[in-house]
């Protein structure tokens, strides 16, 4: 995934060409492969898969739950990662896990928000409400460099 060009954002991204030159400056982060049905991270075929890739995600997050401060992802579509479309239901499973472990969910909808996936936000397609929602590009239609980070009232009140 690609989440931006600041050191914090680059550190949680997963595309080597964007962060290889900054390795020593980046904080370590825990990464899990995207659920790619065309190049399955667990070696299955789309027709016979029952989202076993989520089990890898669940095991990784559960194993490191005391180290994880948040889960960040581009919902339903890994844009800069190669236009990888997630299987239906994967995002809602992530949300269920994050709520169960009390880990905030950050959805980066800079590339997927404002109707680019058919709904106002990609997360709407699975009825998922994140703790943080990152927006950009579609916010001004590309006319101005503007972005926004939205959060739940509970998080806002705790700041």
The enclosing domain of 87 has a CATH number of 3.40.640.10
Q: What token pair was written down for 1?
A: 């995934």
Q: Is residue 123 part of a domain?
A: yes
Q: H or E stretch including 132?
A: strand 132-135
Q: Is residue 85 part of a domain?
A: yes
Closest CA to 94 of 78, 116, 72: 72
pLDDT of residue 13: 66
Q: Is the separation of the CB atoms in 87 and 52 below 8 Å?
A: no
- Secondary structure class of 73 (helix, strand, coil): strand
Q: Is residue 21 part of a domain?
A: no
Q: What token pair was written down for 127?
A: 């009825």
Closest CA to 147 of 131, 134, 136: 136
Q: Is the separation of the CB atoms in 57 and 95 below 8 Å?
A: no
Domain count, the chain: 1
| DSSP, res 38 | T
Task: Tell me the residue range of the domain where 63 lies.
Answer: 36-158
Closest CA to 57 of 44, 73, 46, 45: 73
Q: Is residue 13 part of a domain?
A: no
| Cα separation, 6 vs 18, whole angstroms | 11
pLDDT of residue 3: 65
| Cα separation, 81 vs 2, whole angstroms | 7
pLDDT of residue 35: 83
Tens digit of each residue's pLDDT, the chain (159 residues): 666 666 566 656 666 666 666 777 777 888 888 887 777 777 777 777 777 888 989 999 999 999 999 999 988 877 766 677 888 899 999 999 999 999 999 999 887 888 788 888 999 999 999 999 999 888 888 788 899 999 999 999 998
pLDDT of residue 7: 59
pTM beyond 0.75: the answer is yes
């Amino acid at each position: 995934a690609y989440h931006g060009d600041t050191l914090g954002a680059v550190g949680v991204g997963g595309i080597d060409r964007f962060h290889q030159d900054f390795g020593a400056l980046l904080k370590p982060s825990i990464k899990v492969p995207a659920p790619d049905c065309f190049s399955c991270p667990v070696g299955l075929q789309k027709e016979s898969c029952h989202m076993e890739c989520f089990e890898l995600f669940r095991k990784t997050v559960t194993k490191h739950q005391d180290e994880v401060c948040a889960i960040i992802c581009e919902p339903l579509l890994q844009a800069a990662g190669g236009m990888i479309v997630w299987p239906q239901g994967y995002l809602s499973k992530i949300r269920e896990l994050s709520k169960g472990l009390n880990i905030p969910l950050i959805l980066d909808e800079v590339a997927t928000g404002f109707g680019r996936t058919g709904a106002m936000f990609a997360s709407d397609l699975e009825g998922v409400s994140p703790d943080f929602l990152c927006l950009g590009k579609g916010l001004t239609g590309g006319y101005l460099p503007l972005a926004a980070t939205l959060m739940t009232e509970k998080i806002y009140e705790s700041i």
